[in-house]
Amino acid sequence: MKQAEDTLIPDLISIVNVDGDYQFIIFDAKYYNIQLEHNKKLRGQPGIESITKQYLYQLAYQPFVEAHQIGTVKNCFLMPTASTEIIEKGTASLAMLHNLGLQDIQVRLLPAETMYRHYIENSKIDIQVLNLQ
């Protein structure tokens, strides 16, 4: 009998200490080109399956967060941009999951060139530059 592989594994999890408050941050990379223009319909955004899966990551890791008394959980989609600056694009959410106390998904566009440089140099960015709320 064949069994499907477990696919509830986010791209990156970070546990950071910010002024004595431990934060559990769930990151998932997405390769969308969000287009949000005045008087035009939103295009190129993550779909319902990506959003619900991100919320499920938080549910799956909730026992770990509680067992280790981590005070803050954050969700974030990371997407590439040709810009040279990090762009705070907003949040993705579903009311019924938000109402369960799950964290909305923050969206950050990261400069592709900068991220390639970090990859090549095997270096990390400071999570604080993402300005996650």
Q: How confident is the model at residue 3 (pLDDT cuts 50, 70, 90)?
A: low
Q: Summarize the confidence of residues 7-22 as an average pLDDT.
A: 88
Higher-confidence residue of 81 and 41: namely 81
Distance CA 5, CA 100 (A): 27
CB 75 within 8 A of CB 107: no
Tell whether the model's pLDDT for residue 4 goes beyond 60.
no
Tell whether the model's pLDDT for residue 90 goes beyond 90.
no
Q: Summarize the confidence of residues 58-76 as an average pLDDT.
A: 95
Contacts of residue 118, Cβ cutoff 8 Å, sequence gap at least 6: 124, 125
Give the residue from 103, 83, 82 showing the smallest Cα distance to 94. 103
Structure pTM? Answer: 0.83
CB 79 within 8 A of CB 32: yes
Query: HSE-up of 80 (CA within 13 Å, CB side)?
Result: 7
Give 39-51 pLDDT, tens digit per residue: 766 655 667 888 8
- Tokens of residue 36, six digits: 């949000």
Bridge partners for 111 per DSSP: 81
